[in-house]
Every structure is written in C-alpha cells, then in structure tokens.
Amino acid sequence: MRIGIIGAGIGGLVAAAGLQADGHDVVVFERSGTPGAVGAGLTLFANAFAALDAIGLGDTVRAVSGDALGRMRSGQRRPSGRWLVSVSPGSGPAVRSLHRAELHSALLAPLAEGTVRAGRTARAAPGGAPVVTVDGSEESFDLVIAADGVRSTARTAWGLDCGVRYAGYTAWRGVTASRGHLADEAGETWGAGARFGIVPLPDDRVYWFAVLTAEEGTDFGDEPALLRARFGGWHAPIPALLDATPRSALLRHDIHDLAALPPRFVAGRGVLLGDAAHAMTPDLGQGAGQAIEDAVTLVLLLRSAGALDAALDEYDRLRRRRARALWRGSRLAGSVTQASHPAVVAARDVLMRAMPAGVAVRASARVARWQEPQRVSPGESR
C-alpha cells in the first residue's frame, strides 16, 4: 500500500519504520523544516520495548537509552527530602531513559532516503478520504495516518475533535551538562501545587522537570530565577540541578490533554495515532509509550489482517480501550500530585507513606503491560 503519515514525531516515525520494513510505500510529511525532537528527556517502560521488539526496533532504541534508574533508589519524596515511597535499586519497574533528540535520530536512521519530507505542511481531507493536500497539491494514498499531535488538524478535518483542555499546571524541562553525580537517587518530589522530577540520562547527564500550578499562559518573566526562588530550598540535589542546567537547555510548556477522547480513532481511510488520538497529561509517563503502542499495533494488524477494514476496526477497538484507561489515569494522577490545599496535601502524603512500595511497583507494572494483537480475519467481529 501507499501510506501517508502526517507528523514525524515518535509515533509517526515508529509507524513509518515498521510499515516501510514490511514493504509499504511510505511518505512522512513534517511541517518543521529541520525535523528533530524539541524536548528534553523521557522514559520508556516495558510496554514500549515489548512493542518495539515486535517490529525489530527494540535494540535500536536500547542503544541510545540507559537503565540507570534500575541501579538506584527511587520513589516519591517531600521537599524536605523525606521519602513518601521508597523503591530500592533493582526492585522497581523496568524503565529506560533517553533524550528525545537521540530517540528521534535513532528512528530516522532505518528510513529510506526521502521518506521524510521536511518543511511540508500536509492537511488531511474531510471525512477520512485518503488524500493529503500539500502546498496546494493533492496526493492520494491507500491510507493516511495522522500523528500530528495534541492540536491535530486531521482530527478536526475528520470530525473527531472534542477539544483540548488545560490541565491547570505548567512544566519546565531541562537537561544538565555532564553532572551525573547529581542523580544518585531518582523520582519525584511533591510539594503543594509544585513538584520536581529527577531522571538520569546516558552519558552522565540528568533530565529534570519542574511543575507549578498556574493560570494558563502566565508570563513568569525571568524563569531560571523563578525556579531557583521556588525550588531552591528543596532537598539536594534540586538546587544544584537548576544551577547545572544551561539556559539554552530549559523549556517550558503549559500542560494540555484532550478534553475528551474522539468517538473513534479511525475515519474512512484515516487513522489517528499518538497525541492526535489520545493526548494525555505526562503524569504516568506513558505519552511516548502509547504512541509507540499505537504505531506497532497498526503495523502488526496491517501485516496480519486479511483486509484493510478488518485491521482498522481492530486497531480502533484495541487502542481506544487501552488509551481511555491511561488518559483517565494520567488526569487523576495529575490532580493528586498537583494538590495544593494543605489538608489535601497532608492526606495525600499520609496515604503515600502508608502504602507499601510493592503496591506502587505492581501498579506501575500493570500500566506497563502491552499485549501483541492477534491475527484478525476479514469480517471477524469481536
């Protein structure tokens, strides 16, 4: 088949690599003139690697990621440094960390030259027709995959948009220069309406994020100064991480998710994938993982199904069910971790301290479980 993909993010590139390896003619349209990931670090759990392994990309991503989280203490803390939940080295869920830019480069490498057309804004046709308009010209495909993010124009064109919601908080992300000794312990620190996360990266760098409850679109002025004022009194190594991060490596984004999930992830010969389908808050760390699951599920169903309609119907069924649970769970986790009322914060912390670490680990393991789709025959109903 000839397949057009709108968006060269993580999900779009995983889909492109898997589909191209299966012999499909794939074109990826990316509106940025210089395709590359804008962002900092991220974590991928076992579900992402199970999916990547299913299409032969697991080792490609392992090569640019690290497993340092498995060799250190992790969990949740208070700003004083007191642990709410402490997970000893080697007892937590399987998780690897990496920089978004390096993941993006690794996913571009398997693609044939010319697969990604940079600087090209592609617009999907209404109703899910497999047509893309680029610079005033139409291109026809057998299937169009929309991996164009939380504000997907394809989702709107296909009549599937339910709006975008501001989550109530904004997040800074940074990557230090080589200061790996600042991440002997990892995890999140929870305050009142504020939190800070620490994730070690390969090559002795550290990815961190800071989150504050704030009005949407707030102008914070001197943001590095604000972060030092807000988090400078929190436990080590938080102040040192802020000092070790170049201003050029600091990003901030207001956090949004979809106000509601689309009624379907498929319209005609169009498929929603990743944030375009189910943008969720980052509070379960599953945004990238779910985009990967989407992409791999679609690749495998197109490989095994006897008809395109059967593959798309099964993709819609499987992915909406999986995404709905994580979209809701992420929103709930955000409301808990960003709690600001003193009584709510106190109750949250008491409950966290009372919870055995094993319970938290098992809950994380359930989230990070992905099942490869079964073969679907034409006309089969489930």
The 10s digit of each residue's pLDDT in 229-254 is 999 999 999 999 999 998 888 999 99
CATH superfamily entry for domain 2-367: FAD/NAD(P)-binding domain (3.50.50.60)
Work out the angle at residue 11's Cα, subtended by the Cα atoms of residues 111 and 329, and round it to the nearest 5 degrees. Answer: 160
Say whether 164 sits in a helix, a strand or coil.
strand
What is the greatest pairwise CA distance in the chain?
62
Q: How far apart are CA 323 and CA 293, in angstroms?
A: 10
Q: Strands, DSSP E only, in the chain? A: 2-6, 25-30, 41-45, 73-77, 83-87, 95-99, 116-118, 122-124, 131-134, 137-140, 143-146, 164-175, 185-190, 194-200, 206-213, 250-258, 266-267, 270-272
The full set of domain ranges for the chain reads 2-367
What percentage of residues in the chain have a pLDDT greater than 70? 96
Say whether 26 sits in a helix, a strand or coil.
strand
Structure tokens at 23: 């012999």
Residue with token string 């760390």: 285
The 10s digit of each residue's pLDDT in 291-327 is 999 999 999 999 987 799 999 999 999 999 999 999 9
pTM of the model: 0.95
Spell out the residues 6+ positions from residue 116 whose beta carbon is closer than 8 angstroms to its own: 8, 16, 28, 30, 35, 108
Lowest average pLDDT, out of 58-72, 103-117, 154-168, 203-217, goes to 58-72
